[in-house]
Amino acid sequence: MSLTITELPHKEQALFRSALRLYEVRQYKKGFKTCEQILKKFPNHGETLAVKGMFLAYLDRNEEAYTTIKRGIEISPQSSISWHVYGIVCRRDEKFEEATKCYEEALKVDSENVSILRELAQLQTQIRQYDRLVETRARIVKLDGNNTPSYWLGLAVAHQLTGRYDLALRIISTHENTVLDENSGFKANNPDYRAEVSELLMYKTWLMELNGDFQMALDNLKEIRPRITDVTGWKEQKAKLLLKLNRKEAAASAYQDLIERNPDNNNYICSYLLCNGLDMSRPEDKDAVLEIIKGLQKQFPISNTLKFVPLTFCTGDDFVREADILAKYSLRKGIPSLFASMKTLYMNEAKGTALGKLFEGYALQLRDTKRFSDSTDDESSLVLMWCKLYLAQHADYYGDYERALKLVEEAISTSPDTVDLYMVKAKVLKHAGDIRGARDIMDFGRQKDLKDRFINTKTVKYMLRNNEVDEAEKTIVLLVRDDAPHKVQEIVDTQTIWYMREQGHAYRRLGDIGRALKHYQQVADSFATYHNDQYDFHSYSMRKFTVRAYNDILKWEDQLFTHHVYVDSAKAAIDCYVDLYDRKAAGSPFVPISEKPMKPFTRNGSAKQGQHNLSAGLGETKPVAVDVDPNGSKFVEADDYLERALKFVEVLETYVGSQPETHVSAFEVHLRMKKYFLALKSINSLKAIDDDYSSLVPMVVRMRAALDSDETFAAPMKAALKDQLFKAFGDASIESTIETHKQSLTFMLAGAKCMIRLGGESNVARAKDLLLQAASDRYGETRTLKNLLAAKDLLVEAGASESELATYATSAKQVFALSTCF
Amino acid sequence: MITIRKAMASDLMAMQHCNLSNLAENYQLSLYLYFYSGWPDVSFVAENAQGQVVGYVLSYVKKEEGKDSVGYICSLSVIRSYRRLGIAQRLMGQAHAAMVEGYDVELSTLNVRVSNSAAFNLYKNTLAYE
């Protein structure tokens, strides 16, 4: 039989209580010893065992921790302490679902324990069980006799999260006086809590708006003005509500007020126009819009936004006139981002052409007369330099890399110390396929300003694109803060996700799947941390009253895994695991590479170390923290490649199910797991997004082949699946789909890849034939650098000979004359 | 075209990225979350036409009992290729205004590396920090 605490002798009871206190003050070792002391006399005391287990977890002895706690629970399953402790350990390990269940068990015995309820509320928010959250929060409020603000605010937020804005408002109205009433003795009168009061009042107004009571919200807003600290938020809210209530005149003056505070906000400007019944995107409004913008420009000459806005809606001569004003201003000022901001206009072909002509004209005028044709003053030579830089980027945009390089060279000869010029030159070379040259130029630019982290960052990125992982690491640590104990670890600790991803890609190109997976996993781990970061705010934000920002945090967290760095790394990790699986299945498993490759891998064999000035701080670099898995062998030696891949697939399916490539990745994993119904589901999901997607028919073909060759799979189910495929796709084949899209390299690549995967001499030979033609004219614009490189990789996979690869390289160089990457 | 606006939760990762690309003082995302959640109205971002964050100011306000509020500029950064547009100055202007209007801040402080000459000049000459 189990003993409850009260059944222990006094001395042990006291020890038990002191163990719990030791947990609160984080004295885990002492706490552990205290438990041991009790267990010496009462080795089967369940609650002590559970608490001992918790201390073990905090002493990083996780496995023992769980067995000890589970034994404790077996002995005293009716103890809330044991379940609570179990919940704490699960929560610590980020097993939020399990933790929630433990807390619920604990509450079955101890239903009025507010601190357990509060922790449960945090967990339920974390796993988005909002309906249950409402119950939990309601119980807390009911048990609390003190009207604790964070409790009832928590309940209001729970109602709001389930869409019951009316109930949220009612809760606030019932309790708000404990905070707002001047006689409540609480926070209202204390200037130290002004911000909290302000946030509560603003939240209430927002709830009214969510509930559709715009007028009530507006009236309330006016009343609370003197107590508001978030003045910008208040003014934005007021303007928005006036516009929603269609009180256009008042709304216009509210937006006018906002523009005065910040004339560089496009949203304010658009809304101001809306108040005047105007819309920039409506051509018939153009003249009226322009008139208003001109008026605002006079009022706010400092605004960059107002200078640019006319370019977005003007066309023809109006466009040229407005562009001329902005261009001359920017060239004289030497604004490096001029092309970057104009670039969005190039979507409209006529505007791109017009801008090219305009700047060509400037270049001629400045070259011949040192002046713009409408001016009587000589311009500095730098104006022509910036003009050439613009024209270089313009040529680059249209793929004329040789001209772009010539122009940027001319700019450099005028101003050889301007770092921006090298950044542009490197970018042009990158687009032209000279990855090595791009990296060299970026590095040259870096040497002009060794203290600047931005150019350092760019150089590191370009080095990684050139597969120089070691050089990249040496370079990035130069500008990691000097007092970081371990600079390489610091980069991981500060969540430098772009670097992790690029490292992964570089190692993958180098064929080092172990290290590639290691870095993709670092990305995934960083996102897991981001996801868990929200946990504390489920309670902190209630105490701070900043629940509007808190809602914003939840919204962001809910779509965290749609971030392109995560999606890209996850897909790459899936590919790596699939690759590992295939190699193992083919009898030649991948072996972890123990030594780092010393030399950058370049296929033309001309890799040379550039000149680097590493004296700027590398000497102080302290030894790196012991990396327990430097080459990623942990990933390579795993025996569950597909299960690991599946974890990534599940995240992608949940968050980016609207992207075609999600289902391509999912298919690859399901097919290898012989989960044919899921593979079919991936095919159908892809078809629903885009029934003419390049990978679709290849997936169907491979599915058919897999079904045919799987003799262990039940015949009736096989027939049913094949029947479904036939109904949806008939007898679609690779050859037919390539033929239908004979001008698309993308379709050809997908088809060739499929043939290689299917295997068999004739398939592979056919794929090779197709791929050797990848650079031919028929593919026109689809011959992007990325596609041509993919063709090269597939050729290597198909076992093309040296001479075949050389022939292909020559043909690819006809498309990208400056390239060095084939 | 650059828009200056209040920071939102969905900007925090981009702010972190901007910081990591530009400066040597780097922080984990949880710190950005903490400042944003504690003082959601005093941090601002600059966003380009493609919606990328090209500059930010991350700030907070501290109020000790019985004393005046003090504003802190935790981090300010503008991507190199977006210089000369006055972005940093505008971001600081918004942050200062928010601190003064909302919190009656009379003093705001920041730390800058002397080696960061662009920032040093901005603070000392343009914004009159001492």
b/e sequence A323-338, b meaning 16+ C-beta within 10 Å:
beebbbebbeebbbbb
Residues 6+ apart with CB under 8 A from A521: A573, A635
- Look over chain A and give the mean of its residue pLDDT values, rounded to a whole number: 93
Starting from the edge strand earliest in sequence, which strands make up the sheet with B70-78, in order? B3-6, B44-47, B53-62, B70-78, B107-110
Q: Is it the case that residue A469 has pLDDT exceeding 80?
A: yes
Under 8 Å between Cβ of A500 and A523: yes
Number of other CB atoms surrounding residue A53 within 10 Å: 27
CB A200 within 8 A of CB A153: yes
User: pLDDT band at A777, cuts 50/70/90?
Assistant: very high
Q: A136 pLDDT exceeds 80?
A: yes
Give the pLDDT confidence score for residue A3 in this predicted structure: 62
pLDDT above 90: residue A93: yes
Distance of alpha carbon A699 from alpha carbon A68, whole angstroms: 49
| Distance (Å, whole) CA A792 – CA A812 | 9
Residues A513, A590 contacting (CB under 8 angstroms): yes
Tell me how far the alpha carbon of residue A4 is from its chain's centroid. Answer: 50
The type of residue at A744 is: S
Residue numbers in A near B24 (CB within 8 A): 453, 479-481
Nearest CA in chain B to A225: B102
Q: Over the stretch A471-488, which tens digit does the pLDDT of each residue have?
A: 999 999 999 988 888 899
Name the β-bridge partners of B108.
Answer: B71
Rounded average pLDDT over A25-47: 93
Residues spanned by the domain of A756: 734-822
Residue A355 inside a domain? The answer is: yes
Under the banding of pLDDT at 50, 70 and 90, the label for residue B52 is: very high
Q: What is the pLDDT of residue A189?
A: 59
Contact B96, B108 (CB under 8 A): yes
Structure tokens at A671: 């097919």
Per CB-CB distance under 8 Å, the chain A contacts of B2 are 264, 304-305, 341
Is residue A17 in some structural domain? yes
Domain assignment present for A331 = yes
For residue A187, what pLDDT band results from cuts at 50, 70 and 90?
low
**Structural domain contains residue A186:** no
Tell me which residue of A437, A502, A433 sits closest to A472, measured CA to CA.
A502
- In angstroms, how far is the first alpha carbon of chain B from the final one? 32
The 8-class DSSP code of residue A184 comes to: S
H or E element, residue B5: strand B3-6
| A532 inside 8 A of chain B by CB | no
pLDDT value for A608: 37
Out of A19-28, A185-194, A672-681, the most confident range is A672-681
Interface contact flag, A305 B2, Cβ < 8 Å: yes
Tally of residues, chain B: 130
- AA letter at A506: A
- The count of other CB atoms within 10 Å of the CB of residue A99 is 24
Residue A43, C-beta contacts closer than 8 angstroms, at least 6 positions apart:
none
Q: What is the pLDDT of residue A316?
A: 95
- Indicate the pLDDT class of residue A416, thresholds 50, 70 and 90: very high
CA B16 from centroid of its chain's CA atoms: 12
Complete DSSP assignment for A742-791: TT-HHHHHHHHHHHHHH--HHHHHHHHHHHHTTTSGGGGGG--HHHHHHH
Alpha-carbon distance B10 to nearest alpha carbon in chain A (angstroms): 5
Q: How many domains does chain A have?
A: 3
Average pLDDT of span A309-314: 96
What's the confidence (pLDDT) of residue A71? Answer: 94
pLDDT above 70 for A312: yes
- Asked if A612 contacts A444 with a C-beta cutoff of 8 angstroms, the reply is no
Q: Where residue A58 sits, what CATH number does that domain have?
A: 1.25.40.10
Cβ of A230 within 8 Å of Cβ of B29? The answer is no
**CB A463, CB A503: distance < 8 Å:** no
- Whole-number pLDDT of residue B127: 76
Q: Tell whether A463 is within 8 A of chain B (Cβ).
A: no
pLDDT attached to residue A599: 47
**Could B37 and A546 be called an inter-chain contact, meaning their C-beta atoms sit closer than 8 Å?**
yes
Classify A163 in phi/psi space as left (phi over 0), alpha (psi -120 to 50) or beta.
left
A420 close to B (CB below 8 A)? yes
The domains of chain B are located at 3-126
**A594 — pLDDT class (breaks 50, 70, 90):** confident
pLDDT over 80 (residue A657)? yes
A774 domain residue, yes or no? yes
Sequence-separated contacts (24+) of A253-261 with Cβ below 8 Å: A259/A296, A259/A300, A260/A300, A261/A232, A261/A235, A261/B94, A261/B97
**A111, A141, A158: which is the final residue of a domain?**
A111
Residue B114 or A95, more confident: A95
H helices of A59-95, in order, are 62-75, 80-92
C-beta of residue B71 within 8 angstroms of C-beta of residue B108: yes
Phi, psi at A176, each rounded to 5° = -60, -25
- Find all residues with CB under 8 Å of A557, minimum gap 6, and list them: A530, A531, A534, B9
What is the mean pLDDT of the segment spanning A660-667?
Answer: 98
Q: What average pLDDT does the segment A631-638 reach?
A: 95
Residue A82 scores a pLDDT above 90? yes
CATH assignment, B3-126: 3.40.630.30
Q: Is the predicted pLDDT of residue A124 greater than 90, yes or no?
A: yes
| CA distance between the termini of chain A | 76
B4 touching A, CB under 8 A?
A: yes
Q: Is residue A511 left, alpha or beta, with left meaning phi > 0 and alpha meaning psi from -120 to 50?
A: left
Q: Show which of A88, A111, A134 is a domain's final residue.
A: A111
User: With bands split at pLDDT 50, 70 and 90, how would you rate the model's confidence at A624?
Assistant: very low
Structure tokens at A473: 């690491």
DSSP string, B29-97: HHHHHHHHHH-TTS-EEEE-TTS-EEEEEEEEEE--TTS--EEEEEEEEE-GGGTTS-HHHHHHHHHHH
Cβ distance of A304 and B28 shorter than 8 Å: no
Q: Is residue A51 part of a domain?
A: yes
Q: B99-119: per-residue pLDDT in tens? A: 988 888 877 777 777 667 777
| Residue A544, pLDDT score | 92
Average pLDDT estimate for A633-644: 96
Which whole-number Å values give the CA distances from A658 to A308, A595, A689, A690, A782, in the listed order? 34, 41, 7, 10, 24
Distance (Å) from the alpha carbon of A291 to chain B's nearest alpha carbon: 20
Residue A785 has pLDDT above 80, yes or no: yes
Cβ atoms within 10 A of the Cβ of A105, count?
A: 20
**Residue A611: is its pLDDT beyond 80?**
no
pLDDT, tens digit, 9 for 90 and up, residues A760-770: 999 999 999 99
Chain B contact probe: residue of A201, A272, A494 with most B CBs at under 10 A:
A494
A545-554 pLDDT per residue, tens? 999 999 999 9
CA dihedral A461, A462, A467, A473 (to 10 degrees): -50
Buried b (16+ CB within 10 A) or exposed e, A179-212: bbeeeeebbbeeeebbbbbbbbbbbbbbbbbbbe
pLDDT tens digits for range A208-266: 999 999 999 999 999 999 999 999 999 999 999 999 999 999 999 999 999 999 999 99
What local confidence, expressed as pLDDT, does residue B123 receive?
77
Bridge-based pairing of strands B3-6 and B44-47 is: antiparallel
What count of Cα atoms within 13 Å lies in the side-chain half-sphere of residue A386?
Answer: 18
Best of B29, B31, B37 to mutate (most A CBs within 10 Å, chain A): B37
ipTM of this predicted structure: 0.94
Segment among A384-398, A511-525, A582-596, B108-122 with least mean pLDDT:
B108-122
Cβ atoms within 10 Å, residue A40? 9
**Confidence band (pLDDT; 50, 70, 90) for A585?**
very high
Q: What percent of chain A has pLDDT over 70?
A: 94
Q: Which of A96, A111, A126 is the last residue of a domain?
A: A111
User: Cβ A302–B21 below 8 Å, yes or no?
Assistant: no
Question: How many CB atoms lie under 10 A from the CB of residue B63?
Answer: 17
Q: A621 falls in which pLDDT band (50, 70, 90)?
A: very low
Are residues A707 and A721 in contact, defined by beta-carbon separation less than 8 angstroms?
Answer: yes
